[in-house]
Copies of this chain bind each other. A is one copy, B any other.
Amino acid sequence: MIVVMKPGATAADIGAVIRKAESMGVKTHPIYGDNRTVVALVGDLTRVTREVFDQMDGVLHTLRIQEPYKLSSRTTRPDNTIVDIAEGKVRIGGNEVVVMAGPCSVESREQIIEIAQAVKEAGATMLRGGAFKPRTSPYDFQGLGLKGLEYLAEAREVTGLPVITEVMREEQVPMVAEYADVLQIGARNMQNYGLLQAVGRQQKPVMLKRGISGTIRELLMCAEYIVSNGNYNVMLCERGIRTYETATRNTFDLNAVPVLKESSHLPIVADPSHGTGLRELVPAMSRAAVAAGADALILEVHSDPDAAVSDGRQSLTPEDFATLMQSLRRIAAAVDRKIAAPTKEQEQASQLVAA
């Protein structure tokens, strides 16, 4: 249930609604928008009647929410959520489209620093790279682990680019949160509810990838597992789904971008690298993603794709990435947006290092 407050409702009015709801045994999530405040009630609502709230001071009206993803739903929060990363160095969900880039796996200190510098040069404002790698085979390379996190932090130091990296297990959450600016939940873990709850109980932003056969509704329900634990800094990521078609590694379902924009206030990230699995398709589908309304792109870039320990087939070279960035700026302009540029602070980080 959603209790919608009047524009002039006071803090005391809101507090009274919250106390009343909690006395009835349900949790409350007040959401303060630019235009109005709403209080979402979650939990067992069978004995909670709307009339109780309708007559309280400062209450405009109450709504029964059909979608079971109350907190992620646009019905609850009409304004877009903007996720602040690294104390505002990067903001996702507003007018600027953010490009995150980097290798699939962190392979060495030199590799990640070199690629970080190259993607920054081309205009990326965030660095991606995997330290813990979920692999289909137990005998494949599983990532550098803690060493990988340390190298990522060093690359951030050098370039000023905030870092996004995957966390695979509940017990790793504190460690990864110490190093990363954004925690990524991978496609295989979309419905790992223990892990979702764990990242929901801390405050670093989270990027939740759609499972390889996850429906859009399930993706929103999984976001709800995070948000309902208290962390509203959630981004949703389309990364390709499993269909019968084998011409592409996955079927990058770009339709999810406008569908999610309509259903939810959370920012949408598109991952054409995993989405298609083929580097030659990444430029066209990156342009398409921006044209369709994505708030950010996450792209795999590797200095030597054919020697990459994982996913080289879908990685761009730094040169191709730089060319792509130029065309993305034109597409963004055509939909009245712009590609996010580095902040002054980030520019200085580079100059300090260069000096």
Contact = CB atoms under 8 A, between A and B. Distances in A.
Interface of A: 42-43, 68-69, 134-139, 168-171, 188-189, 191-194, 211-213, 215-218, 221, 224-225, 228, 241-248, 251-259, 261-262, 275-276, 280-281, 284-285, 287-293, 327, 330-331, 333-335
Contacts of A193: 134-135, 138, 168, 188
A280 B292 contact: no
Contact of A244 (B189, B243, B256, B284): B243
A116 B181 CA distance: 50
8 contacts: A211-B213, A252-B254, A254-B285, A287-B334, A287-B335, A288-B288, A330-B335, A331-B334
Contact of A212 (B213, B221, B290): B213
A280 B293 CA distance: 13
A191 B134 contact: yes
A84 to B, nearest CB: 24
Contact of A218 (B136, B171, B192, B221): B136
B139 A168 contact: no
A213 B191 contact: no
A139 B292 contact: no
Contacts of A139: 42-43, 68, 224, 228
Contacts of A331: 291, 331, 334-335
Contacts of A290: 291
The CB with the most chain B CB atoms within 10 A, among A215, A225, A241, A287, is that of A287
Contacts of A284: 257-258, 261, 291-293
Contacts of A255: 247-248, 251-252, 275-276, 281, 285
A137 B254 CA distance: 25
Nearest to A168: B194
B194 A215 contact: no
A80 to B, nearest CB: 15
Given A169-B194, A258-B281, A137 B213 contact: no
A69 B215 CA distance: 29
Nearest to A248: B255
A275 B258 CA distance: 13
A330 B333 CA distance: 9
A288 B258 CA distance: 11
A193 B284 CA distance: 32
A147 B255 CA distance: 37
A331 B334 CA distance: 6
Nearest to A211: B213
A292 B331 CA distance: 11
Contacts of A257: 284
Contacts of A285: 254-255, 258, 292
Contacts of A188: 191-193
A189 B169 CA distance: 12
Given A247-B259, A262-B280, 17 more contacts: A69-B137, A136-B221, A138-B224, A169-B194, A170-B171, A211-B213, A212-B213, A215-B246, A241-B243, A252-B254, A254-B254, A254-B285, A258-B281, A258-B284, A284-B292, A287-B291, A291-B291
